[in-house]
Chain A
Amino acid sequence: MGTLAIHPGLLDVAPEAVHLPSGSNFAGMDDATIMLELRSGNMDAFDILLAKYRKPIVHFMYRMVHNQAVAEELAQEVFLRVYRSRETYRAEARFSTWLYRIATNLGVNHARDTRRERSASTIYLDEPDSETGTTPDVADSTPSAETRMLSRERMNAIRQHVLALPDRQKTAVLMHKYEGLDYKQIGEVLKLSESATKSLLFRAYQTLRDKLKDFV
């Protein structure tokens, strides 16, 4: 009688491997050219774009809406719109600019539609925070409890004050600080000049500096 030992990790669902196309060589292509491949019906191009932008767009949407399920739903909607718009796509701007413009519109619309719901946020004492991975310690006497609470407080303050910025400033900060877009791209997404974008960002960082001065 034999015994079969299975590593517990094998039973977990493995992360989906990025399906790399075999028929086409996308190595030297920029995003706009890959998008034009998708327009001509090559679904491998969609896989390439998805593999490259999935994480940044999910992160961007998460910071816009602060809910992972909703963020993923909206991120899927972004890629779905990319797919649906493949035939009308024009390589007039950088692909990433277009992608973030779609994401920004969806995120702002969602924020506007759910403004009332978000005003009453809920903290679950028995569920870990998705960012810090910790649960709220109501009466924890361990030495690290205070540190963790301070860390969580800082995180909440950052999140709260970034999300409280006016829509354009918030979007600009998320794209600049967390997604690494340059002024030109941010300006194209928000339909602003480079100097106006820089000014917008600076006002946002000044506001955040004033609001977060107790935590720095």
Chain B
Amino acid sequence: MNFSNSKTTCKDSADLLPDLLLDPASVPDAVAAHVASCPPCTEELTSLRSTFAMLDEWKAPEPTPYFNTRLYARVREAQAAPPEGFFERMRSFVLFSTGRQLRPALAGALALVLVISGGSFVGIHGLHGFGVGQASAAVDDLKLMDNNAQALQQMDQLLDDNDDDTPPAS
């Protein structure tokens, strides 16, 4: 760690390196002064700036002269075509919109749809008689037998208790 400046350290410079590279005007003078006087920090920033400058060499070709002609032909096709349906427009809106303020509204609408559709689902089940408790007769019989067995066990326990507590009748 190099402390070339009494207040600013290399760590401070490293933290502000993105700003030094991308937005130098926002960097405090002390940090800029530190970087200027600290060889490792200077080297780090210089290498980033060199890479940044090197990227300028990547040139893109100009659009061809027929770009507009082809585009206008496609626009004319779009004009002649029937208007997009609701779902297509919604899809485009969701994909390409940047409206952050609409997100809460969309989340609320989605929640409402889920609540309504969930309620409808339960309601439909109720209407069509697909409710819970349509067990077969065999299962009902087994449950009944199980209940009876439990009841008999409990009665036996009660009788045993009574036998212990009460004195035998003469």
Contacts and interface: CB of A to CB of B under 8 A. Distances in A.
Q: Do A and B bind each other?
A: yes
Interface of A: 13-16, 46, 50, 54-55, 58-59, 62-63, 68, 72, 75-76, 79-81, 83-85, 88, 90, 92-93, 97-98, 101-102, 105, 130-131, 151, 154-155, 158-159, 162, 173, 176-178, 183, 188-189, 191, 198-199, 201-202, 205-206, 208-209, 212-213, 215-216
B49 to A, nearest CB: 9
B93 A88 contact: yes
Nearest to A129: B61
Nearest to A211: B51
Contacts of A85: 89, 92-93, 96
A24 B19 CA distance: 43
A202 B51 contact: no
B51 A155 contact: no
A37 B44 CA distance: 49
Interface in B89-135: 89, 92-93, 95-102
B59 A154 contact: no
Interface of B: 17-19, 21-23, 47-48, 50-52, 54-71, 74-75, 78, 84, 89, 92-93, 95-102
A216 B60 contact: no
A63 B60 contact: yes
B6 to A, nearest CB: 27
Contacts of B59: 131
Nearest to B62: A55
Contact of A205 (B21, B89, B92, B96): B21
Given A58-B67, A205-B21, A208-B51, A76 B74 contact: yes
Which 10 pairs, one residue from A and one from B, show the smallest C-beta to C-beta distance? A202-B18, A59-B60, A209-B51, A93-B98, A58-B63, A62-B60, A216-B50, A92-B99, A15-B65, A76-B71
Contacts of B100: 188, 191
A54 B98 contact: no
Given A88-B89, A88-B93, A216 B54 contact: yes
A72 B62 contact: no
